[in-house]
Amino acid sequence: MTHLHTVRLSAPAVYTATGTDPAALWEALVAGKDTSSPCEHLAGPWPPLDNVFLVDDPDAATLGVHRRVLRTSEKQARMALYGARLALAGPAADGPVGGPDWGLYLGLPTVDEELLRLDALQRLHKIAGQPGEVAALYGREVPPFSGLSHLNSTAAAHISAAFGLMGAMAAYSPFSDAGLQALIDGVLSVAEGENEAAVIGAVSPKVHPLLFAQYENLGWNGAVPGEGSAFLLARRTRAGDTGPGVRVAGYGRAFGAGEDTGGAAGDDARADAIAEAVQAALEMAGTDADGIGWVLPDAVWTTSAERAQNAALDRVFAHAARPPAVCTSVRVTGVLGPAHPLAHTVLALTGLATGRRLVTEDGTVREERLPAPRALALACGVRGQACAVVLEGVGT
């Protein structure tokens, strides 16, 4: 028995190109703001895009840590630490944070930094047959903390140290399903008594020329990348929690094996997996397609995953009395990888708490009344992973 009804979600926080306020993300979508910025690197622009969705690299003062901490972290770890700080250092955290029963569940991106610079790789090729010279090159070129700073576990270590999170923890990587995997297991850890509370978050990859190479290798469809993080808090319902809230009412996980970059067989397998995950989430939540007031699909960045997700949603909602309202934040955040489904979860928390939803129609986003107090968030991993979560308003 999972007792999901005993866990409330609170303290939503985002750090994206729209800013650090969930309300600003909502408003940017409705207003149709252009929050992208030119992307130039030492290695040149992101090909073939001129603009991407960037965030500033948080400094030590913003993060509330000693500057020495920054020496052992990559930008994605700093984005994660900042997202956690936005959630836990604000009034939404509602009381003291941390302790032996506070856990941490993170969705983390692919590591996207090279070990050696390109010119060093060229020199390495010339001296490949001289072990002494190879050792000397690595000694000169590899920074002292490169091994540590290239580990995504740095993000978990810094967040747990900053906030005293000493309970059960887990990290998931590297694709978009990692964010919802963290949400599901973080909520379960509280519902089943493993933790009193769980900090749940996810972070995007940093935008880097090598990220383009990774995306292209996996079947990139041209979607614009973005940077950012999203966090929230799962906490056991307390005696004084009588006001409106949001909970995870159901979830589903599945895997559809198939071709990595397309093909009818691969699309069908993925569509089946996504539909299976959605149906499992609906059944656990005790509802059906008509009980969902808002769908927040994954911001998929491969053509095959996009086709599969659309086919699965068409199948699940084919006989619904009213078509679901669909909206994604990609137009103002870019594709956020593991952080995207959690950014959507933050949007859903905002809508469920106020009885509103966002609808995309004819290229614009409008706000309207939420007809049912439930939202469906999806994640579609590029290798065939699928996660679905039904979020439900409580006391609204």
| Secondary structure letter of residue 150 according to DSSP | T
- State the pLDDT at residue 261: 44
Mean pLDDT (the chain, rounded) = 86
Q: pLDDT of 149-195, one tens digit each?
A: 455 667 888 899 999 999 999 999 888 899 999 999 999 999 999 99
pLDDT reading at 137 higher than 90: no
Residue 145 has pLDDT above 50, yes or no: no
Average pLDDT over residues 83-94: 82
Q: What is the reported pLDDT for 116?
A: 67
User: Looking at the chain, which residues constitute the CATH 3.40.47.10 domain(s)?
Assistant: 4-115+145-236, 245-394
d(CA 376, CA 344): 9
- pLDDT for residue 383 is more than 60: yes
Closest of 279, 277, 257, 278 to residue 268, by C-alpha = 257
What is the structure's pLDDT at 18?
97
Token pair in block for residue 74? 């990559």
What's the pLDDT tens digit per position in 324-380? 889 999 999 999 999 999 999 999 999 999 999 999 988 899 999 999 999 999 999
Classify 64 in phi/psi space as left (phi over 0), alpha (psi -120 to 50) or beta.
left
| Cα→Cα distances 325→167, 225, 296, 353, Å | 38, 24, 8, 17
**Helical axes 131-141 vs 118-126, angle rounded to 10°:** 170
More confident residue, 33 or 382: 33
- Do the Cβ atoms of 52 and 207 come closer than 8 Å? yes
| 319: pLDDT strictly greater than 80 | yes
pLDDT of residue 95: 77
- DSSP bridge pairs for 87: none
pLDDT per residue as tens digits for the range 32-46:
999 999 876 545 555
Domain 4-115+145-236 fold = Peroxisomal Thiolase; Chain A, domain 1 (3.40.47)
- DSSP letters, 196-250, are SEEEEEEEPPPP-HHHHHHHHHTTB--PPBB--EEEEEEEE--TT--S-EEEEEE
Q: Report which of residues 121 and 271 the model is more confident about.
A: 271
Instruction: Give the architecture-level CATH label for domain 245-394.
Output: 3-Layer(aba) Sandwich (3.40)
290: left (phi over 0), alpha (psi -120 to 50) or beta: alpha
Query: E strand or H helix at 376, and its extent?
Result: strand 374-380
CA gap 390, 375 in Å, rounded = 6
In angstroms, the CA 289 to CA 97 distance is 37
